[in-house]
Structure 1
Amino acid sequence: MNSERQAPIPSVRWLRPVLTALIFVSSAATAVACPLCYEAAKQMVTIGQQLNTADRVVIARPDGSTSHFRIASAIKGDDADGATIVDPVQGPDGTVPSGCDPCLLIHYALNPHWTALGTMPPEYAAWLRQLIATYRTSGELRRASWPQRLQPSTVLNDAGSRQCISLVLPRLESPDALVAQIAWQELAHAPYQALETVRSRIDAGTVERWLNDPKLASRHATYTLVLGFVGGSADAERLEQKMEAARTSHDATNLAAMIGADLELRGPSRIGWVEATYFADHTRTMPEIEAALLALNVHGEASGTISREQVIEAYRVFIRERPAMAGFVALQLADWNYWDAATEYAALLKSDAVKDPASQFAVVNYLQRAAAAKAALQ
């Protein structure tokens, strides 16, 4: 039984991670987060973004004699070191924080209280100022694509992302938990092409240790991609052993990141393996197929180790191997202004091979855009 019957195709938001990639990564004019490592953080406004949008940021200690805080280091705003904060302080969940000493506090204009983000030693004050400065010089305000986040937030452009990665790289998995969280979030929100900044700047053995730490499971997708840029042939072999185990058990956990890293390590020679393993093998499940397409999509956007042309050829293989799912790659092909699949798509519609309404819509949209592009050329 093929996977088109095994796994029903979603009818509204089909191929969720790939559609996410199209929304969040499409049109490379603006650098945005890489969805391969962004999955764990996708609904999260980063602490760096919060620091940027807050009007006041301080590191403060509780005043033992009162319920107030005394500022140890002013990071942003007009507050002075040594001043007392008399406004209420609460945690992100609205409760009164406990055990936060010293504490990173942020304040938003018109808000009656401060928000405590967690413990932050004062020696990181200069580092936090640098992070905020990166957002102020290299960020742009955009409304979030995610329905859970209705407010605009600042995202870094490609140059800003590279600068930010250089800033946070030494702080990854810092013994100070909040510092480590800030560093990982910034890395996870960087566009894929900006991750190249890590080359020769972090040891592959260190990354492997993080990947073998179950306490860091939520960060493994990000660190897997980092390994793709800093690892060698031995790392690729270990990664491929993990993928083989995942293939046997149909486990799609972090599979997109593993495929993406493997392609970065091995290069175009592995595209045929992706085609044979996930497109031609009809025992694959929907999450596995999604992961393979998402990995290729991100490489196609970056057009680096794996060129966009090579990804397009892989998509053509996907269309031939899985005609019922052909609409899954239609929007991306259109965004890349690739119109040579129009004949195939028209034939698939005529033969009623594409059953899912959302996939049909994607194919029709592709054909309309192809016709418009042809008319514009004429």
Structure 2
Amino acid sequence: MPARSAFHVLAHAGAALLLSAGSAVACAICLSAVQITPGQRLESADLAVLAATKDGQWRVLVRLKGSDPLDAVALSAEFPPAGAISEDHPELLMREGLGHRWSSMGRFDLAQADWLLAFARSRPPEALGPFSTAAYRMTAWRERLALVATRLECGDPRAEDLAHGELARAPYAAMRSLGKSLEASALQEWIGNEDIGSRRAAYILLLGAAGDDTTTVWIDERLETSGRTGDTTDLAALIAADLELRGPARLGWLEERYLLNAASSVAEIEAALKALSVHGNADAAIPRARVVKAYRRFALDRPAMAGFVAADLERWKEWGATAEFVALLKAGAITDPAGELAATSYIRNSPDKQAISRLELLND
């Protein structure tokens, strides 16, 4: 894509790009930005109940959300029960706030009723509004994670799914706070369960915050296995946990092993960059300034992939690389269209007007 075309696309896609940058809150290692979690489904409902069946009709046991009158006969006609539902394992039924259509989140153990009620009544961090401070939102996330942590691997599959969904969409800064309150041995036991699937990445991140010297050995063994086998399934989480444990001194190793190593695969590079992105967002164990420095070195050393780091630099308002990105675009070094678009967006939003002028001259 020529730079001129990138400007034209940017003019139409600018709103989407800004939306993407503004919504990048969830830990990228754990959750896709477009995935809707069970907790978000429950939050969007205006009515939610735990219900069993009697004589083929719904019978509400616990109202979790909403105060509107609820006719069990009408509900049964609109959303017929799929068989008999016992009181011991009622079904969680939700009515969408907009379309008023009913759906089910599945069957829960009735023993989860008080916890579900507490979750439904808690205020989601997103509902705090655009004018709330970052510290206030982070406090809300930590409170939310403290609530769901008691249901991680609790034995009730539906409660586990809801709890893990909240964990996976939380910012890493909140996750690492939770990790410090957990036992490394318990996390290693969860990670060792082959049935946990996609939950493993979040537990590895928590382990990085909870761990000790023995955890470092555990991570080293798995990093070595990943390098030997080429399996990058959990590599981003392992690298992020490794950085959490070892701190900024580990960045040199990361650059030499993954970012600047000619033998690194694209999947390995992406995993390393994702781990850096998570730490840069948190700005805690690894200072964001150190991540930015690594990004800028990566962009100059691997110019074709420089666009991979442009979105983070723009979101963090780190404009020191503006002239460098102008030079890369001028040289045609960023060969990926999406990367070129990200680099162009970064430059266009930079306060470095001289650099922007040089890019615009390039398109005349």
**Match in the other structure for 1:247:** 227
Residues 1:346 and 2:339 aligned together = no
State percent identity of aligned pairs: 35
What RMSD, in angstroms, separates the aligned Cα atoms of the two structures? 3.2
The residue number in structure 2 matching 1:54 is 45
Residue 146 of structure 2 is aligned with which of 166, 170, 183?
A: 166
Match of 2:361 in 1: none
Deviation string 1:252-283 (CA, Å, 9 cap, x unpaired) is: 21211111111111111111111011122122
2:35 aligned with 1:44: yes
Question: How far apart, in 2, do the equivalents of 1:334 and 1:112 lie?
Answer: 39
Gaps of 5+ in 2: 1-5, 7-16, 131-135, 357-364
| In structure 2, C-alpha distance between the alignment counterparts of 1:373 and 1:132, rounded to whole Å | 48
Amino acid of the residue matched to residue 55 of structure 1?
D
Matching of residues 88-237 of structure 1 within 5 Å: 88=76, 96=82, 101-108=89-96, 114-135=102-123, 139=127, 157-237=137-217
Q: TM-score scaled by structure 1?
A: 0.78
Distance apart, 1:85 and its partner CA: 4.8
The alpha-carbon deviation at position 359 of structure 1 amounts to 2.7
Contact 1:243–1:258 (Cα < 8 Å) also in 2: yes
Matched residue type, 1:119: R
Which has the bigger relative contact order, CA under 8 A and spacing at least 6? 1
| Aligned twin of 1:34 | 27
Residue 12 of structure 2 corresponds to none
Paired residues in the alignment total 334
Q: Distance in 1 between matches of 2:19 and 2:209?
A: 22
Residue identity in the other structure for 1:205: S
Task: Name whichever of 245-254 and 359-368 sits farther off.
Answer: 359-368
Tell me how far apart the structure 2 counterparts of residues 235 and 70 of structure 1 sit (CA, whole Å). 49
1:70 equivalent in alignment to 2:59: yes
SS at match of 2:170: coil
What is residue 10 of structure 2 aligned with on the other side? none
Deviation of the 1:322 alpha carbon: 0.9
Q: CA, structure 1 residues 99+354, in 2 after alignment: closer, same or farther (shift >3 Å)?
A: same
C-alpha separation in 2, matches of 1:353 and 1:274: 24
* Structure 1 unaligned spans of 5+: 1-10, 12-21, 143-155
Contact 1:97–1:116 (Cα < 8 Å) also in 2: no
Give the secondary-structure state (helix, strand or coil) at the position aligned to 1:116.
strand
Matches of 2:78 and 2:267 in 1, distance apart? Answer: 40
Kindly provide the amino acid, as one letter, of the partner of residue 138 in structure 2: D
| Cross-structure match for 2:362 | none
Q: Deviations over 1:130-170 (max 9, x none)?
A: 2122236762589xxxxxxxxxxxxx943221111010111
Q: Secondary structure at the match of 1:331?
A: helix
Aligned to 1:148: none
Give me the whole-angstrom Cα distance separating, in 2, the residues matched to 1:90 and 1:285.
Answer: 53
